[in-house]
Amino acid sequence: MDNRRIGLFDSGLGGLTVMKELMHMLPAESIVYFGDTGRVPYGGKSVETVIKYTKSDIKFLQTFDLKLIIAACGTASAIALPHLKDQYEIPVMGVTEVTAREAARLTKNGCVGVIGTAGTIRSGAFCELLKQENPEIRCVAVPCPLFVPLVENGYLEHEATRLIAEEYLEPIIKSGADTLILGCTHYPLLSRIIGEIVGDRVRLVNPGVCAATEIKKRLTAQGMLAEKPEEEPYHFYLSDDPGGFTRLGSMFLERPISGHVSRVDIEAYTESAL
């Protein structure tokens, strides 16, 4: 038994899709969420900047008594975490490895599509991980840079989103992929539109579901599940003005935001993290 909290961070609000799955699968756990809303998105930033931001996010979360930290951000997981392995006493895991593993397991025809931010796709992380699982897998990776701002502005069912998605997903459809990795934690909110465009024969792989499943498995195996949540189980911290967060965050969580919400000066942690 371990009643310490779980920490999650994301470049914005997309990591709330991971938190949503954790809340569903592990209702006894208490969670601290940090969204770097003042520096979002990470997807178009340089490798050096993504590493710097990721280090500061972890530095902030380390101020809490946590048993695990999750990089609930595809870009941070793909780009920064490989450079930061074994630097922390507390376990830090990302979403890319478990998601690639699940996609490799699901594909029947050996062709897997990947959509993500420009940085994630440029890193080649998902394709490399898929090849590690099965060298015969053919990986088709497409950057979708406009998806994050569309999601963060609530354009989930907008016609403009559909038109952009149709253009982005055309190479995936033409490739014949039967499995598609939603390689950014924002993208599950576009699952309906994406699913309609690629068709029923394509399995969508949600990083949030994959990460939450892996975390439950790890904590169970290590005897680290919480017995019960704290009196105030969910704390939310943002690097920009939290105004509007309750409304938008509730959309990501698919439930009303409840718990502590405040702003943190992440630049202070950035300077000390370098």
| Residue numbers annotated as active site | 73, 184
Planar angle of CA 93, 94, 96, nearest 5 degrees: 140
Radius of gyration for the alpha carbons in the chain, expressed in angstroms and rounded? 18
Torsion of CA 36, 61, 89, 225, to 10 degrees: -110
Token pair 């690097």 in the structure block, residue: 239
Q: CA-to-CA distance for 159 and 15, rounded, in angstroms?
A: 25
- Strand order through the sheet with 92-93: 92-93, 66-71, 5-10, 31-35, 234-238, 260-263
- What gap in Å lies between CA 75 and CA 122, rounded to an integer? 10
